[in-house]
Structure 1
């Protein structure tokens, strides 16, 4: 199967929360990109695809919170795929740095940022 991803994913495991319909569900972040995330499936979260939610997590050993408005893109037995449709400037700055530190390829990161900016302008 061909990999159609435009954004590099970084394995990053930490506690997170998904907020859906004013309810907060604990989950575990499995990986993250500039354009989305993969989280563990929470039993209490019985949403369907194309549902809007908010993903929040705090960077370990810090008080830095990253928050993104997401849409559920797929639900599997053990995980949920989320596509980011809005992220504030502070969160994207910290997320960019996190990916930069784990990707070790500045040129690839800048290319992905340009694609992200292009996507949001359409």
Structure 2
């Protein structure tokens, strides 16, 4: 079974400059894709993170819209960084749900995924 077949949450390709922080360590990253369960990033070269600590991810969508989530490192292959969402506030999950809904073109799909996420 491939990773795509095992994946329960749709990933949408969405490119945005993203701010990541861990304690006093802060850096920029390019968002590659996003799902209700996490993000895939390409961090800047000067970014050094402790893989065992929480990482705050902030994605600016517009002047007044931002997705902020607490994540943990799932994988790092030297170029990309896969992060699993540990917690997200209500406003951020609303923005994320709408972003996924718009990119999937199917509001029912995002609703099913959100229900599945709440069941985890």
Q: Does the CA-based 8 Å contact 1:48-1:75 persist in structure 2? A: no
How many angstroms does 1:48 deviate by?
Answer: 4.8
- List runs of 5+ in structure 2 lacking aligned partners: none
Across the aligned residues of Structure 1 and Structure 2, the Cα RMSD in angstroms comes to 1.5
User: Hey, what does 2:18 align to over in structure 1?
Assistant: 16
How many angstroms does 1:50 deviate by?
Answer: 4.0
1:4-54 deviation digits (Å, cap 9, x = unpaired) = 211000100010111112221111111100110000033222335443110
Q: Return 81-90 or 110-119, whichever deviates more.
A: 110-119
Q: Does the CA-based 8 Å contact 2:42-2:81 persist in structure 1? A: yes
- The number of aligned residues is 118
How many angstroms does 1:104 deviate by?
Answer: 1.2
- Residue 7 in 1 paired to residue 9 in 2? yes
Matches within 5 A, 1:3-82: 3=4, 4-60=6-62, 62-82=63-83
Q: Does the CA-based 8 Å contact 2:20-2:58 persist in structure 1? A: yes
1:61-109 deviation digits (Å, cap 9, x = unpaired) = x321110000011001211001001000000001101110001122221
Q: Return 43-52 or 19-28, whichever deviates more.
A: 43-52
**3-state DSSP of counterpart to 2:9:** coil
